[in-house]
Homo-oligomer: A and B are copies of this chain.
Amino acid sequence: MEKTLRLKTAEIEKISHLDYFNIAISVDCVIFCYHEKKLKVLLIKSDLEEFEGLYSLLGDLIRPDEDLETASYRILKDRTGMDDVYLEQVQAFGSINRHPSGRVITIAYYSLIDIKHHKLQLSHHDLHWQPVNEIKKMAFDHKLILETCLARLQQQVMDYPIVFNLLPEKFSLRQLQELYEAILGFELDRRNFRKKISIKDWLVDIEEMENDVPHRPGKLYKLKPEFKKKGLKKKSISGKQQAVS
């Protein structure tokens, strides 16, 4: 979002007597990808003077005839050319002064895409994949939004089979482990990692090997089709005395 808005600010002023309807609502998407062994986010150069030189998340005002997910999908589709993307709502952010041009409440989503699939409209705009680690300052409260979304991703990553949305169809266990490390921000023990993943039973051995690697090639795996839903896969409930005891 944050773009169309500047044009509208004048209009907002005019209707200030409609107290409850001069709050705008946007959706902001934290679009993650995995590239060059780094977790990256798709950002766009802010076109507001106040934030000159800073990047912001991709977002837009919500249209009256679309629901929240639809708006997010629209942004994703517009910006990445991709359909059928993993998307999840995280939180609303609504501080009064979060937007310099007026009151805007935004609802944050994060999504996971395989960078190879997007026909990126990178060229025409100031779009840019930025490594998450290397981001210092952002426009608006987008740094906070990004951190919140990253925390949510980190929290979900071992419980639900979602990171596969960041990988190509076929991948090796090393690739998968490196991805987990990139998301979590620390290193994992290889044997323990493999054990843990194999217990989850998310993968099929497709009886193929890596090639193009300058060392012993690893086996390739796919995510089992039953986990390929783009929506959130609920953790099984499995018995009663699980949460407490």
A→B interface (CB under 8 Å): 4, 8, 11-12, 15, 18-25, 61-68, 89, 91-96, 103, 105, 107, 154, 157-158, 180, 184, 186-189, 192-193, 196, 240-241, 243-245
Contacts and interface: CB of A to CB of B under 8 A. Distances in A.
* List of 9 A-B pairs having minimum Cβ-Cβ separation, nearest first: A68-B94, A192-B245, A186-B240, A20-B61, A92-B92, A92-B107, A67-B95, A67-B96, A67-B94
Contact of A243 (B8, B154, B241): B154
A187 B244 CA distance: 9
A63 B20 CA distance: 6
B107 A243 contact: no
Given A18-B15, A188-B241, A94 B65 contact: no
Q: How many copies of this kind of chain does the complex include?
A: 2
A245 B188 CA distance: 5
A50 to B, nearest CB: 19
B22 A21 contact: yes
Contacts of A11: 18, 21
A111 to B, nearest CB: 16
A64 B193 contact: no
Given A8-B21, A23-B62, 6 more contacts: A12-B21, A15-B21, A67-B94, A67-B96, A89-B91, A105-B107
A25 B67 contact: no
A63 B244 contact: no
A189 B96 contact: no
Contact of A23 (B25, B96, B244): B25
Contacts of A62: 20, 23, 94, 105
A157 B107 CA distance: 25
Given A8-B20, A21-B11, A96-B66, A244 B103 contact: no
Contacts of A240: 186-187
Contacts of A21: 8, 11-12, 15, 18, 21-24
A71 to B, nearest CB: 8
15 contacts: A12-B21, A15-B18, A20-B63, A21-B23, A25-B105, A66-B96, A68-B94, A89-B92, A105-B107, A180-B244, A184-B244, A192-B244, A193-B244, A193-B245, A196-B244
